[in-house]
Amino acid sequence: MSSDAEMAVFGEAAPYLRKSEKERIEAQNKPFDAKSSVFVVDAKESYVKATVQSREGGKVTAKTEGGATVTVKDDQVFSMNPPKYDKIEDMAMMTHLHEPAVLYNLKERYAAWMIYTYSGLFCVTVNPYKWLPVYNPEVVAAYRGKKRQEAPPHIFSISDNAYQFMLTDRENQSILITGESGAGKTVNTKRVIQYFATIAVTGDKKKEEATSGKMQGTLEDQIISANPLLEAFGNAKTVRNDNSSRFGKFIRIHFGATGKLASADIETYLLEKSRVTFQLKAERSYHIFYQIMSNKKPELIEMLLITTNPYDFAYVSQGEITVPSIDDQEELMATDTAVDILGFSADEKVAIYKLTGAVMHYGNMKFKQKQREEQAEPDGTEVADKAAYLTSLNSADLLKALCYPRVKVGNEYVTKGQTVQQVYNSVGALAKSMYEKMFLWMVTRINQQLDTKQPRQYFIGVLDIAGFEIFDFNTLEQLCINFTNEKLQQFFNHHMFVLEQEEYKKEGIDWEFIDFGMDLAACIELIEKPMGIFSILEEECMFPKATDTSFKNKLYEQHLGKSNNFQKPKPAKGKAEAHFSLVHYAGTVDYNIIGWLDKNKDPLNETVVGLYQKSGLKTLAFLFSGGQAAEAEGGGGKKGGKKKGSSFQTVSALFRENLNKLMTNLKSTHPHFVRCLIPNETKTPGAMEHELVLHQLRCNGVLEGIRICRKGFPSRILYADFKQRYKVLNASAIPEGQFIDSKKASEKLLGSIDIDHTQYKFGHTKVFFKAGLLGTLEEMRDEKLAQLITRTQAVCRGYLMRVEFKKMMERRESIFCIQYNVRAFMNVKHWPWMKLYFKIKPLLKSAETEKEMANMKEDFEKAKEDLAKSEAKR
């Protein structure tokens, strides 16, 4: 553990990263009763600290911290860790590893603003909801080249470890950042990019593309500039988060053979396009709409034929229109600058703004029903004229295509009438599609810009994706997100086990094979295998007469009663209707299937798409052409459109294809795991809601990781280190004066100690311990050291007192001598001869002085004579 002096390199961030020496010493000396100090289950707080008063018949009576006396079952009581483990940096090192210990450790660290904590292979981070000085340049420098155990937990430590592993092992790395919306995933992703952009800079300017004629920054600038642009078009305010990413992303940062930044690319997943046309009351649409209307650039208002009032536009004013924590004017300038730095041409930049404006106008288009028939017709053409102008289309053609689309019947095209609702649905689908395709095209263009010609050898991928979601109303999006998390959790379990398995095999440990990756297989197969949920959904999309009911019936017929993970939901009062339940690793989720077939088919008005393909706005024509599909597939992580006449591909099939690609990518890397947590629902700094945090710990696999950790031997130590550290427990077990190797010494030492001997195993170079045993040995060592230190202190104090006593005796002799002389003087002080002596004494000194003066005079006269003689001789 670093001293306060060593922590000085972190500057003002030091107290936010590690306990001070004073705090550590106080914790070490704090009185603690291991038998009575416990956590007990509590209905309100989940778990509370308590002191055991009595145990009887499987029941425990305890007094809680709040002063209440409770009686609970024995299995609802959990031992507390000694105070020296308070605010521990790696929770896998705790003696007692369970839910309340993890919860309270995170809570106490969070209260001290230590937002990063390790939990075995995980780094857990809690959103502080306030600025902390833990990302300053001196902190970046302090983490550079440090091993994980040499520095406090931090996202920079995870990043640097990934970078060092890449250089030493010559292997691609990945950092998987997951958590619920508002937990801080995007912020941590940005910090990873900041770290690599700082430590791996090349110093060379990226060459300008002759075609763009735009301002170009360094590659580092461009990687960082991709964020404001993607956030403007892909982030929005939600109930939990003012700047929530509404898409997942996998950013690959490529490095050359020497570890310098070479290039980067971004893949995106599951953009929430429904937000373009609909928002909940406490939310708002994507930031870009409000940035444009902030009037920071009045020329945009004029060019897009819009106003500065969001309430004038239906698509962007269903929820809130301002966010206190976001300055839309400032953000618009950041977005505009990012477009320039990323090398978009002037025409492309104009097209981006025009298409964004067109989406806003689409929401204001009005239609009415023709008299005496269901056919829809335009209710005024002014808005359509503006939208058509921005997209370089003919307004009359656009309205005709919306109200009377042409559909293919056999080999012929016929005109099909539309109701008002069908037209509104069609307009909404086109607006969402236009926005999504533009977003994916921007990602593709960013990738082209970040793809330098520099040689690249390895990459570090950063995955920022939504965590497990359990809402009151769960639909197809939640199934996709939860399925992704099932796959990622299976990947983690498998990776964790494989690492352990390799270590045990290498060390010759006797170990029974357990594949934790298979724990989740049942649920994963239920969703993705042939005749799984996705297969049935895709099959139903092929049948024109299929309905939500027929889809539900097929699901029940295929899986109900045959798979333990597929269940009939239990109706709950006040909750949205649900049609089936899935037992995921993080909990049971009730899904509502209404509208899944339409969502999955994602139909577009092909007549309007045909108009888009011939648009005078080149970017729009490109977005809906066949070429965009192939290009976006390579860079955007999602196909941007369907080629004319190409095979029909559903949203779920596309999602699975991209997920499989992502998993293949991840499996080729050495992964590092970061789990982000929301501490409370109210965005209050420093406050932690127990049940909310526990739910997330279960959902994101931290507790699952601990479960796996406890099955194996998470603690291990080299024989030489073990012998040196724990010899103090029973030094007589190791013979003195003869050679004995460290392994045999460790075996003898452990055999002589009173512990559970099934809780450890001997490898070739290390001794392996079950979770908690090393903590027990540490406590025994502390007790032994305390005894030895007490003895040493007694010996030292005895020696010091004897030295002090000797000095005291010498002082006593001196005092006696002084007293004797003073008494003698006092006796002769008034004696007449002594008085005479006192009077004569100064005169004696005066006579002495006169004698000296006479001698000096004599010497002077002699010298004068000698001088006169020598001058006479000349």
Instruction: Kindly report the CATH number assigned to the domain that includes residue 783.
Output: 1.20.5.4820
Q: Is 628 a residue whose pLDDT tops 70?
A: no
Q: Quick one: tokens of 706?
A: 């601990």
Question: Is residue 446 pLDDT above 60, yes or no?
Answer: yes
User: 6: how many CB neighbours lie within 10 A of its CB?
Assistant: 14
Length of the chain: 874
Boundary of a domain, candidates 560, 591, 622: 591
Helical ranges in 257-394 per DSSP H: 287-292, 298-304, 328-341, 346-362, 382-390
Q: Is 818 exposed, middle or buried (0-12, 13-18, 19+ CB in 10 A)?
A: exposed
286-304 pLDDT, tens digit per residue, is: 999 999 999 999 999 999 9
Is residue 55 helix, strand or coil?
strand
- Amino acid code (one letter) for 787: Q
The span from the CA of 284 to the CA of 447, in Å, is 28
Average pLDDT value for the chain: 88
Calculate mean pLDDT across residues 274-287: 91
What is the structure's pLDDT at 709?
67
Cα separation of 762 and 718, whole Å? 10
Range of the domain at 536: 476-591
Average pLDDT over residues 310-339: 94
**DSSP per residue over 801-852, as a string?**
HHHHHHHHHHHHHHHHHHHHHHHHHHHHTT-HHHHHHHHHHHHHHHHHHHHH
Instruction: Tell me which DSSP letter residue 57 carries.
Output: T
Burial status of residue 766 (CB atoms within 10 A of its CB: 0-12, 13-18, 19 or more): buried
* Predicted local distance difference test score (pLDDT) of residue 202: 57
Cα separation values, 799 from 785, 804, 808, Å: 21, 9, 14
Cβ proximity of 192 and 175 under 8 Å: yes
What confidence category does residue 497 fall into, taking pLDDT thresholds of 50, 70 and 90?
confident
Task: Write phi, then psi, for 559 (nearest 5 degrees).
Answer: -120, -25
Q: Write the CA distances from 500 to 30, 162, 603, 734, 764, integer angstroms.
A: 36, 19, 48, 31, 15
Of 591, 622, 639, which closes a domain? 591
User: How many CA within 13 A on the CB side of residue 580?
Assistant: 28
d(CA 488, CA 818): 89
> In this predicted structure, what is the pLDDT of residue 220?
75
Asked if residue 692 lies in contact with residue 112, where contact means CB atoms within 8 angstroms, the answer is no
786 pLDDT more than 80: yes
Query: Distance between CA 849 and CA 776 in Å, rounded?
Result: 86
Question: Does the pLDDT value for residue 350 go beyond 90?
Answer: yes
Q: Are 673 and 121 in contact (CB under 8 A)?
A: yes
Residue 815 confidence (pLDDT):
95
Q: Report, as residue numbers or ranges, the catalytic residues.
A: 181-182, 186, 241, 244-245, 467, 469
- Please give the average per-residue pLDDT across 252-263, as a whole number: 91
pLDDT higher than threshold 60 for residue 721: yes
pLDDT tops 80 at residue 174: yes
Residue 707: enclosing H or E segment and its boundaries?
helix 702-711
Share above pLDDT 90 across residues of the chain, in percent, rounded to a whole number: 54
Residue 207 reports pLDDT greater than 50: no
In the chain the first and final C-alpha atoms are separated, in Å, by 90
Give the per-residue pLDDT at 614: 94
Given a cut of 80, whether residue 189 has pLDDT beyond it is yes
Cα 421 to Cα 405: distance, rounded to the nearest angstrom: 14
pLDDT at residue 634 above 50?
Answer: no
Q: pLDDT for 570-590, tens place per residue? A: 877 767 789 999 998 878 899
Q: Measured between alpha carbons, how far is 226 from 451 in angstroms, rounded to an integer? A: 13
Sign of CA dihedral 157, 163, 167, 170: positive
Residue list for the binding site for ATP: 179-186
Distance of CA 124 to the CA centre of its chain: 6
pLDDT at 732 (0 to 100): 84
Strand duo 173-179 + 458-466: pairing:
parallel
**What pLDDT is recorded for position 642?**
44
Q: Which two tokens stand for residue 615?
A: 């648009």
Distance separating alpha carbons of residues 349 and 234, to the nearest angstrom: 17
HSE-CB of 29 using CA atoms within 13 angstroms: 6
Name the DSSP letter for residue 95: S
Residue 513 CA, chain-centre distance (Å), reads: 32
User: Is residue 630's pLDDT more than 60?
Assistant: no
Pairing of strands 235-236, 715-718: unpaired
Least confident among 10-19, 204-213, 533-542, 595-604: 204-213
For 356, other C-beta atoms within 10 Å of its C-beta total: 23
Q: What is the pLDDT of residue 216?
A: 55
- Total structural domains within the chain: 2
Residues paired with 486 in a beta bridge: none
Examine residue 557 and state whether it is found in any structural domain, yes or no.
yes
**Residues 6+ away with beta carbon under 8 Å from 113:** 15, 16, 128, 132, 686
Which residues lie across from 673 on neighbouring strands? 122, 176
Residue 123 CB-half CA count within 13 A: 25
- Angle at the Cα of 170 from the Cα atoms of 169 and 172, rounded to 5 degrees: 105
Task: Quote the CA–CA distance of 485 and 750 in Å, as a whole number.
Answer: 42
186 class by beta-carbon count within 10 Å (0-12 exposed, 13-18 middle, 19+ buried): buried
| CA nearest to 469, candidates 685, 270, 267 | 270
Q: How far apart are CA 191 and CA 158, in angstroms?
A: 11
Question: Is residue 352 in a domain?
Answer: no
Which pLDDT does position 645 carry in this prediction? 38
Which of 705 and 695 is assigned the larger pLDDT?
A: 695
Q: Is the pLDDT of residue 208 over 60?
A: no
Q: Mean pLDDT check: name the lowest of 3-7, 62-66, 496-500, 775-779.
A: 496-500
Higher pLDDT pick, 837 / 117:
117
Closest of 66, 81, 482 to residue 270, by C-alpha: 482
Q: Are 129 and 122 in contact (CB under 8 A)?
A: no
CA distance 482 to 589: 9
Residue corresponding to tokens 């592993």: 165
**Which residues is 51 bridged to in the sheet?**
37, 63
- Chain Cα centroid distance, residue 315: 33
Residue pair 232/289 in contact (Cβ under 8 Å)? The answer is: no
Q: Which H or E run includes 330? A: helix 328-341
**Which pLDDT score, from 0 to 100, does residue 459 have?**
95
Edge-first strand listing for the sheet containing 566-567: 566-567, 580-584, 587-591
More confident residue, 611 or 270: 611
Q: How far apart are CA 649 and CA 631, in angstroms?
A: 17
Question: Per the annotation, where are the binding residues?
Answer: 179-186
Does the residue 795 lie in any domain?
Answer: yes
Q: Range with the lowest mean pLDDT among 100-109, 110-119, 463-472, 673-682?
A: 463-472
Task: Say what the pLDDT of residue 499 is.
Answer: 72
Does an H or E element contain 502, and which? helix 476-507
Count of Cβ atoms closer than 10 Å to residue 370 Cβ? 12
Cβ neighbours of residue 23 under 8 Å, at least 6 residues apart? none
The answer to whether position 328 is within a domain reads no
Pick the last residue of a domain from 591, 625, 654. 591
Structural domain includes residue 331: no
Kindly state the DSSP code that residue 505 receives in the 8-state scheme.
H
Assess if residue 745 is contained within a domain: yes
Nearest 5 degrees, angle CA 582-CA 584-CA 586? 135
Of all residues in the chain, the percent with pLDDT exceeding 70 is 94
The whole-number pLDDT of residue 494 equals 81
Contact 174, 671 (CB under 8 A): yes
Give the tens place of pLDDT for each residue, 130-169. 999 999 999 999 999 888 888 999 999 999 999 999 998 8
The helix (H) or strand (E) run that includes residue 777 is: helix 773-828
| pLDDT, tens only, 95-106 | 788 899 999 999
> C-alpha distances in angstroms, 493 versus 275, 484, 628, 645, 701?
34, 14, 37, 42, 9
Residue written as tokens 């409000």?
A: 290
What is the separation of C-alpha 419 from the centre of its chain, rounded to a whole number of angstroms?
49
Token representation of residue 704: 């699952």
| pLDDT band per the 50, 70, 90 thresholds, residue 637 | very low
Distance CA 531, CA 521 (A): 15
Residue partners of 531: CB distance under 8 A and separation at least 6: 558
Based on the number of CB atoms within 10 Å of its own CB, is 384 exposed (0-12), middle (13-18) or buried (19 or more)?
buried
User: Distance between alpha carbon 801 and the CA centroid of its chain, in Å?
Assistant: 57
Task: Report the distance separating Cα 774 and Cα 327, nearest Å.
Answer: 52
Rg of the chain taking only CA atoms, in angstroms: 40
The domain that holds 532 is classified in CATH as 1.20.58.530
Residue 41 lies in a domain: no
Q: Is the full-model pTM beyond 0.85? A: no
Checking if the pLDDT of 502 tops 50, the result is yes
- Which of 41-45, 212-216, 532-536 is least confident? 212-216
Does the pLDDT at position 205 exceed 60?
Answer: no
Distance CA 606, CA 405 (A): 8
Between 445-449, 480-484, 504-508, 800-804, the lowest mean confidence (pLDDT) is in: 504-508
CA 251 to CA 273: how far, in whole Å?
21
341-350, 536-545, 639-648, range with the lowest pLDDT: 639-648
Residue 471 has pLDDT above 90, yes or no: no
Residue 185, domain member (yes or no): no
The SS3 call for residue 861 is helix
